[in-house]
Structure 1
C-alpha cells in the first residue's frame, strides 16, 4: 500500500469514529472521490464498504443501494480482491439492503422479494446459514401484515443455526422480543430482552433500541417505575445518534401516553430536521405518527394554540402541527400500502396516532412545562342531583360535626341551593353558613371577623349563648392579620370569652365543644403574640403555655367528643412547639406524639399531619432517624387525601431526607420523585422542585443508576440559581454529575463539570471543596489523556492542598504530575524525576514537622513509601533496554540499581506500617522482584514472588502477578 493509499485508508477509519449524520456522510463521499482516483481495487472496496456503513447509520439510508450494487459487481468481476474481511462485509451488508428496501415505498414489493431470494441463493452457495435470510423474511412479512408468513419465518429463523452472518445476539433478541410484543406477549418480550437490558449483551445500538421498545410493554404490565427508568436511560443513549429516529419516536410516544407531553415537545424540538430527513421513509413515518399522537393529545387538553417546533419552514401551533403530522403520516402510509397491496401500514399508523393514555401522569423527576393540574385535595362529596335544601343541610351538618375537610364546600352548596330556590333559612342555619364562609381561604381577615360576628348574633337570636361565645372568640382571632400580634382589644375579648364560657359550661348552658373552641381561640391569639414577639418571646410564650395547659386540663374529661379531642390535641401541639423552641426536644417529642394520638383518637387524623411532621423533625434532631421516618410516613399518609400539592411536596421531601439518612436510597428516591411532581403541580415552587430533582439525581447515583441520575441532574442544572438555591446546591449537582459521567466513561465531560464547580467554590472560605474538585478534574483529564489540561488541574489542586496543610494530598498530586510529564514527553524523564523528588521532599518535610499523629501520621508514612515505590517504577520505565548480565557499572545497570534501591525503601516503609501496609508492601515486593530478575538475581525474584503467594493466595491480582514473576524468573 502506498503512502497515499494508507492516508486514505486512515481517513476512512477516522471518519467512521465521527458522530452519525450528514457531515460524516459528506466526508465519506469526499474521501471516496479521492479513492476512485487511486485506481486501487482493494481500497475502492473499502471505500464502498465505508459508504454503506455511514449511509446505513444515518437518515440517508436510501443512498446505500448504489454502492452496494457496485460492490456486488466487483465481487463478480474481481473476487480475488475480496479477502475474508471484505467478503464478510459484503454478505453482512446484504441484510441491510434486502430488508432496508422495505422502508423505501418507491421500491416495488416484487423487487424486494427478488432481492430476498437473491440473498437466500447467495448465502446458500457460500455455505452460510439461512438464519439471517429468514430474519429478513420475517421483517417483510410483518411489514405487509402477512402474520401467517411472519410466524413461519419466525419459526424458521429460530430453528436455523447461528453463524457469523447472523445479527449479534443483542440485536437478535431485540427482534425476537419485538415479535412477541407484536403478538401481545409483553411478558415474553421483556424476558427475551432481559440479557440486553441488564447489560449482559450489548452492541453499538443496543441496549438503545431495546430500552425504547420496552417502554410500552412495561407500562401495559403495570411496571411504570421500570418504564420511567428505561426512558431516562434510553433517551440519553439515542439522543446524539441521528440514525435512531425510530427509537426517539418511541420515547415521544411514551411521553404522550404518560402525561409528559411537555417532555415530548422538548424531544421533538431537539431535532427539527427529523421532519425533513426523507432518506429513510420508514422511520419518518414513525416520527410523524407519534408527533400526531402527542400534539393531538395536547390539543385535546386545551393547548392547541401553544407555539411548538415543527418542520423548519414556518412557525407552528400545536393544533396546526397535529393536523400536518396526521395528514403527512396517512399520506406516507398510503404510499406503503399502495406498494404492498394491503392496508396494514395505514391500519397500524391510525392505531398508533389514536392511542389513549396509559397513565394520567407518570412523574419522571424532570422539569414539567405543562400547566399545573388539579392539586391532590379530595373534593367534597357531590350532593345528590336535585337534593332538597333540607337534605343538603343534613349532609353539611354531618361533615361539620366531624370537622371533615369537605364541610366548607357542603355549606356553600346549602347557601347556593337556598338562593336558587328562594328558601327562607332559620337563624341557626344562616349562622352555620356564615361561620363556614369565614373559614374559606379566599376570605380576608376583616371579612372573616365580620362573618363570625354575624354568626354570633344569629346564635344569640336562636338562643344558643355557647355557640355565640365561640363565634365571638373566633372573630377576635380573625382580626389579627398583620403579624403585629393581638392588640389589647383581642386579648381582652379572648379572656372575657373564657370567663363567660366557663360559667355557661358549669351551668349546663354550653357544650364542652363550645368551651374547647373558646379556649382554643384564646390559645391561638396568644400564639400570635409569641410570633409577634420574636425578639423577646418568653413572656408571650409563658402566656401561651398557661392557656394551652388550661385547655388540656379542663377539657380532658370531655375527650369523648371528637371536637374537644381535636382541640386538646392542638393545644398539646402548641405545648410541643414551646418545648422545641426551648431546646427540650425529648419533651417536645412526647407532646407531639400525644397530640398525634389525640387527633387520631378523636377521629380526625387529617389534623395530625403537622404534629407528625414536627415529631419527625425532633426525632431527627434526637438522632433517631428510624423514628423520624415513622413519623414522617404517618404525616404523609394522613395528608394524601386532604392536602394540596405544595404541602404534599414538603412532606415527601421530609420523608425523603430521613429515608436517605437511614440508607433507604431506593425509597428515598421515590419520594424525591413524588416531591418533584407535586412541586410542579403546585406551580411556581421552583425552589422545592429544583431541590427535589437535585436530591433525586444524587439518590439515583447512590444506587449505581448513573445513567438515570445523569439525565435528571443535567435537566435540573439550568433550573438552579445561586439566589434561589445557593451555590452549594449547584456545586453538589455538578459534583454528582461528574461522578455520573465518570461511571458512564465520559471523563472529559466529567472534568468540565468538576472544573465549573471548582470555579464556583474558588471564592468559598473553606477551600477543601475547591481542592477536591480540582483534583477530581485532574484525574478525569488524565483518563481522557488530555495531558496539558490534567497538568494544569493537578497543579491547581496541589497549590490548594499546600494551603490547606494536607501533605498526603499534595504528595499525590506531585506524583501524578510526574507521570504526566513522562507521558507528555516534552520535558522528558528529567522533569518526571524532579516532580517525584519534590513529592518525596514534601512527605519528609511534613514528617519532620512532627505535628501529625495517629491516622494522619500513618497516611504520611504510607505516601512516602508509595512515593519511593513509584519513583523506582518511573526510573525503570525511563531506561531503554535491560541491563546486560556482564554490565556492572553501565548507565542501564546504574538506573536499575537505583530503581531497586527506591523499591527496597518502599518495602521497608510499608513494613513499618504493619497490617495496614501489607498489601502495598506486597506490590512493592513484586516490583522489586521484577527488577531483581532483570538484574540477574532470579533467586531473589523467586523468593519475593513466593513470599507474596504465601501471604496473598486469595488476592487474585497479586497472585496472578506473582505467578507471572515466578515464570519470568525461571525463564
Structure 2
C-alpha cells in the first residue's frame, strides 16, 4: 500500500522528494523513495526521474541496502550516456561522487567477485579521466579495497594519501578517519589518535562523522590511558549511531567497548535498544562488524558465569546470553569465511579473532550516571530477600530458627528480617513439616508471624494492602490462641487505613478525623486486651503516639502538640519501667519529631542530641543511623549544611553495618545531596542523588527511584554534563514499565522534557525539535495542568524558530498563548516570544519583520496583562526587555530609525540607575546597541559618541569596568571610522 497519495505533477513530486529528504533513514524513507521513482516514470521529464533515482540511491546507501544501490546507479549512468544534457553541473557532480558509494556497496557483498570490484574501479578511473576529473578519489577507493582484502595496503595508501584532494574527494572528516585507521592497523595508537584529533574535537564532521571515528578511537584511547576522554566520546558517539542500520558496525564497537571496561550490563542494555539491527541490516559487511561486537559482549558475560541472563536477539525467539552467543558465533564465522573466500585472504577471520581474543582493558569504568550491574538485567523477580545477617544469626535448626526470629523481632532487631525470609522460604516448600515442639507453637502461629512481617514491610512501603494484611494476621493469631498478638495486629491496621484517607478528593480535615478515630481505636484495643506482654504493650503505646503524631503532621495545629507529647511520655515511662531499649529510643525519637513538627527546631535538636548520647551508651546501635539522619534533616532546616553533611555522612557509614532494609539509606543519600548543593558541591550531590535512586529501585520503589533519577538528570544538565544527562534518560525511558505505560505519565513527560532540553543544549536541534513537538501535542490535552502546557509549548515554539520553521513556531506559540489565558506564565512566555522574534528578524531580515513584530505584539499584550495583574518579574522588566527587543528586531530588518526610537524608549523606562543597581548590564547593552544603530547604521557618529562617552564616564565612576570597556571599544571604532 502506498505511503502517501501519488504526486499528480512534477511540482508535487519535487515537493514530495524534499519532504522525504527530511525523514530519517530507514524503511519508511526507502519505501517512499521507491514510490516516488515509480511516480517519476509516469512523467515525460528525465530531470525529475534523475532526482528521484538519486534520492532512492541515497536511501538504499544509508539504509544499509547495498545490493540495491548499484542497480539504481546503473540506471543513472545509462541516463547520463543517453541524455547527457539532462545533467547540469550539480547533477553531474552528484553522479560522479556516487561512484564511491557503489564501490563501497560492492565491497560489502561477499557474493560479488573480487574481479568485479576491480573492474568497477577501472570503470570509475576511465569515467573520471574522460570527464577531466582528478584521480585522488579513485586512488582512495583503491586503497579502501586493499585495506578490505588485507593485501598491498602500504603502496595503495601512499598512492592515495600523497595526492592532492579534489572536489570529488571524500570529505576531510572521512579521509581523516581512513588515515587514522591505517595507522591503527599498523599498531600505532598515538599516531592514529593525533590524526583523528580534528574529527574527535568536532572541527571536521559530516553525516557519519564523528560517530564513525569515535567508535574506532575508543579502544586506542583506553590503551593510551585517556579513560575520561573515552567515556565522554562513548556517550556522544553512541548517540550518533544507535538504531541506525548503516552504522551497525559502529554500534558493535560500542558494545565491545562496554564489554572491555566492566560495563557488561550497559552493553546488554544497549544491545536491547538496537535489537532491530539483527533484522534491518542488509549489508553483510556491516552485519559482520555488528555481530562480532555483539559476540565480544556476550562472550564476556558468559565468561563471568552469567550465560543464563536474557539477551535481545533475533526476533521470534527468547534468547539467553549463551544461546545468542552460539547463534551469532556460527553466523559471523560464516560471514567472515565468505569474505575471505571472495578475497583470497584470511583478513576478516583474523580481524574477527583478534577482537574476540582481546582481554578486558579495565575492570570497571563508570560510563553513566546510572550504574548498572549484571544482577540488574536479570529476569523480573520478586524483591530480593534482605541481606543475610551476621554469621550465626540464622540457625540451621528449624525450631532454633523460629525461636531466634521471634526473639529478634521482640527487640526490633534488623536481623529478624533475614530469619523471617528464611522461614518464609522453608514454610512455602511442599515438603515442609512443622516442628512438634511446645517452644515453637502451632503452624498457625508461624503463618501469623510471617504475615505480620509481610504487613510491616508493606507499611514501610506505604502499600495499599498493608491494613488487610494486618487484619489477616490478626485472624491467624486468634486461631493460634494469641489474643494479645491479634489485638496488636488490629491496632496496626488502623494507621494505614487512616493514612489512606485524604488521598484524592478528601481534605486534610477528613484525614485528621480518620487519624483521631484510629487513635481512639488503638486505645480501645489496648484497654480491652488484658495481660499484654510488655513488648506488645509498648508497641500499642507507640502506635497511639504515632497516630497523634501523624495527625499533627497533617494539620499543623498547635492544639495537637500536647496530646502527642502526653502519649510519648506514657510510652517512655512504660519502656523505662520494663527496660525496653528499642522503645525508649523510639519514644525519644517521637518526641524530637514532635518538636520539629511544632516548629521548635532547637528543642528537637536538643532531644536528638540526648538520644544520640543514650544510643552510644545503651543502644540499640541500629537506631543510630536513623537518628543521625533526623539530626541531619534538622540541621538542614536550621541552615547548617556543614553539620548536616557531617551527621548524614556518619549515618551512612553506620548504616553499612546493618541489613539494607534496616535503614532508609536512600533517604540519607537524598538528604546528603541537598546538603552538598547548599555547600556548593554539585558533583558530590549528583553522586548521592543517583545512589538514592539506585537504592529505591532495588527495594521496589519505582516511582521514588524515577523521581530521584529525574532530579539527577536535571542537575547533570545544569552542570553542563549534557551527554551524561541524555544517557541517563535514554536508559530510564527504555525501562519496560515506561514502554508499557505503567509509570505516571507526568513523570515520564518530565523525563522526556529534560531529555529534549539536553538535546537542545547538546546542539542536536533536529532530535530536540521532534521531542518538543511531541510533548507539546501531548500536553495540550492536560486540562488539569495548563501551566505545564504553556511551558512546553513556549519552549517548542522557540526551538521551531531556531530551526527556521517560523510558520509552525507561530502555531505552537498560539497554543501557548491560549493555555496562558488559563494559567498565566508572564515571564517565560514573554521571553520565548521575544526570542523567536529576534531569531526570525536575524534570519530573514526585512522579509521576516512582519512575523517578528507579530511575536513582539503578543509579548506586548503579555506585558500589559502582567502590569495589570501586579506581577513582579523574576528578572528583567517585561516592558524594558520588550522595548530593547523592538530595537534589535528593527535593526536586523534595516529599520534603523525605528530601532533607535525603541532603544531610547528602553533607556527611558530604565531611568536613572543607582550605583549598585542590578540593571546596569541591561542599561549598558541598550546604550551599546543604540550606539551601533546611530553611529554605524545611521552614520551619525557625533551624537552616538556623546551618548557613549557619557555612559562610559558613568559606568567607570560606578566601578562597572567590564561594561565600560565594551562601550569604549565601540567608541574607539566610531572615532577610527570617522
Q: TM-score, normalised by structure 1?
A: 0.67
1:779 counterpart SS class:
helix
Give the direction of change, closer, same or farther, for the CA distance of 1:90–1:780 in structure 2 (3 Å limit).
closer
Shift of 1:82: 11
Give the direction of change, closer, same or farther, for the CA distance of 1:588–1:842 in structure 2 (3 Å limit).
closer
1:310 alignment partner, one of 307, 310, 314: 314
Q: Is this contact kept in 2: 1:446–1:478, CA < 8 A?
A: yes
CA distance in 2, matches of 1:845, 1:11: 44
What corresponds to 1:544 in structure 2?
Answer: 568
2:241 alignment partner, one of 225, 234, 238: 238
What corresponds to 1:929 in structure 2?
Answer: 935
CA distance in 2, matches of 1:722, 1:335: 42
Shift of 1:701: 1.6
CA distance in 2, matches of 1:947, 1:867: 23
What corresponds to 2:543 in structure 1?
Answer: 528
Q: Is 1:58 aligned to residue 72 of structure 2?
A: no
Q: Is 1:573 aligned to residue 592 of structure 2?
A: no
156-165 or 921-930: bigger deviation: 156-165
Give the direction of change, closer, same or farther, for the CA distance of 1:73–1:605 in structure 2 (3 Å limit).
farther
2:112 alignment partner, one of 86, 107, 110: 107
CA distance in 2, matches of 1:203, 1:646: 52
1:587 counterpart SS class:
helix
Superposition pairs for residues 73-112 of structure 1, below 5 Å?
101-109=106-114
CA distance in 2, matches of 1:392, 1:351: 54
2:380 alignment partner, one of 361, 371, 379: 371
Shift of 1:923: 1.0
Q: Is 1:328 aligned to residue 331 of structure 2?
A: yes
Give the direction of change, closer, same or farther, for the CA distance of 1:332–1:405 in structure 2 (3 Å limit).
same
CA distance in 1, matches of 2:865, 2:193: 61
Q: Is 1:136 aligned to residue 144 of structure 2?
A: yes
CA distance in 2, matches of 1:416, 1:677: 26
CA distance in 2, matches of 1:222, 1:551: 61
Superposition pairs for residues 107-126 of structure 1, below 5 Å?
107-109=112-114, 126=134
Q: Deviations over 1:102-146 (max 9, x none)?
A: 4322234566578789999999995859995796377336xx5x7
CA distance in 2, matches of 1:943, 1:372: 77
Shift of 1:632: 3.5
Give the direction of change, closer, same or farther, for the CA distance of 1:308–1:846 in structure 2 (3 Å limit).
closer
Shift of 1:246: 1.7
Q: Is this contact kept in 2: 1:449–1:474, CA < 8 A?
A: yes
Give the direction of change, closer, same or farther, for the CA distance of 1:21–1:532 in structure 2 (3 Å limit).
closer
Q: Is 1:281 aligned to residue 300 of structure 2?
A: no
CA distance in 1, matches of 2:349, 2:56: 33
2:24 alignment partner, one of 11, 19, 23: 19
CA distance in 1, matches of 2:677, 2:289: 42
Give the direction of change, closer, same or farther, for the CA distance of 1:446–1:68 in structure 2 (3 Å limit).
closer
Q: Is 1:703 aligned to residue 719 of structure 2?
A: yes
1:745 alignment partner, one of 736, 742, 765: 765
CA distance in 2, matches of 1:250, 1:154: 26
Q: Is 1:667 aligned to residue 667 of structure 2?
A: no
Shift of 1:691: 1.4
Q: Is this contact kept in 1: 2:492–2:543, CA < 8 A?
A: no
Shift of 1:281: 0.7
CA distance in 2, matches of 1:614, 1:815: 47
Q: Is this contact kept in 2: 1:261–1:370, CA < 8 A?
A: no
Superposition pairs for residues 499-538 of structure 1, below 5 Å?
523-533=538-548, 535=551, 538=562
Q: Is 1:782 aligned to residue 801 of structure 2?
A: yes
Q: Is this contact kept in 1: 2:538–2:574, CA < 8 A?
A: no
What corresponds to 2:504 in structure 1?
Answer: none
CA distance in 2, matches of 1:89, 1:835: 41
Q: Is this contact kept in 2: 1:238–1:247, CA < 8 A?
A: yes
Give the direction of change, closer, same or farther, for the CA distance of 1:408–1:345 in structure 2 (3 Å limit).
same
CA distance in 1, matches of 2:871, 2:416: 69
CA distance in 2, matches of 1:194, 1:551: 71
Q: Deviations over 1:196-255 (max 9, x none)?
A: 455454332223234544667788999999877656544432246441122233455567
Structure of larger gyration radius: 1
Q: Is this contact kept in 2: 1:552–1:571, CA < 8 A?
A: no
Q: Is this contact kept in 1: 2:572–2:583, CA < 8 A?
A: no
What corresponds to 2:776 in structure 1?
Answer: 755
CA distance in 2, matches of 1:414, 1:825: 78
Shift of 1:628: 3.5
Shift of 1:917: 1.5
CA distance in 2, matches of 1:415, 1:38: 79
Q: Deviations over 1:932-966 (max 9, x none)?
A: 33xxx565567668888998997898788778877
What corresponds to 1:248 in structure 2?
Answer: 251
Gaps of 5+ in 2: 1-8, 456-468, 495-517, 552-559, 915-919, 956-960
Q: Is this contact kept in 2: 1:275–1:288, CA < 8 A?
A: no
898-907 or 954-963: bigger deviation: 954-963
Q: Is this contact kept in 2: 1:373–1:681, CA < 8 A?
A: no
2:660 alignment partner, one of 643, 649, 652: 643
What corresponds to 1:258 in structure 2?
Answer: 264
Shift of 1:318: 1.8
Shift of 1:284: 1.6
Q: Is 1:918 aligned to residue 927 of structure 2?
A: no
What corresponds to 2:699 in structure 1?
Answer: 682
CA distance in 2, matches of 1:25, 1:834: 40
CA distance in 2, matches of 1:175, 1:600: 67
1:202 alignment partner, one of 200, 205, 226: 205
Give the direction of change, closer, same or farther, for the CA distance of 1:833–1:119 in structure 2 (3 Å limit).
closer
What corresponds to 2:887 in structure 1?
Answer: 869
Q: Is this contact kept in 1: 2:635–2:641, CA < 8 A?
A: yes
Superposition pairs for residues 764-775 of structure 1, below 5 Å?
764=785, 771-775=790-794
Q: Is this contact kept in 2: 1:131–1:157, CA < 8 A?
A: yes
CA distance in 1, matches of 2:195, 2:527: 74
What corresponds to 2:630 in structure 1?
Answer: 614
CA distance in 2, matches of 1:828, 1:447: 72
Q: TM-score, normalised by structure 2?
A: 0.66
Give the direction of change, closer, same or farther, for the CA distance of 1:827–1:378 in structure 2 (3 Å limit).
closer
CA distance in 2, matches of 1:594, 1:224: 49
1:693 counterpart SS class:
helix
CA distance in 1, matches of 2:339, 2:925: 67
Shift of 1:282: 0.8
Give the direction of change, closer, same or farther, for the CA distance of 1:159–1:628 in structure 2 (3 Å limit).
farther
Q: Deviations over 1:267-302 (max 9, x none)?
A: 244x36x52543x21112234445667788699858
Q: Is this contact kept in 2: 1:727–1:760, CA < 8 A?
A: no
Superposition pairs for residues 782-861 of structure 1, below 5 Å?
782-795=801-814, 797-798=816-817, 859=877
CA distance in 2, matches of 1:81, 1:856: 61
CA distance in 1, matches of 2:164, 2:963: 39
Give the direction of change, closer, same or farther, for the CA distance of 1:494–1:551 in structure 2 (3 Å limit).
farther
Shift of 1:44: 11
What corresponds to 1:887 in structure 2?
Answer: none
Shift of 1:27: 6.9
Q: Is this contact kept in 2: 1:212–1:247, CA < 8 A?
A: yes
2:493 counterpart SS class:
coil
1:19 counterpart SS class:
coil
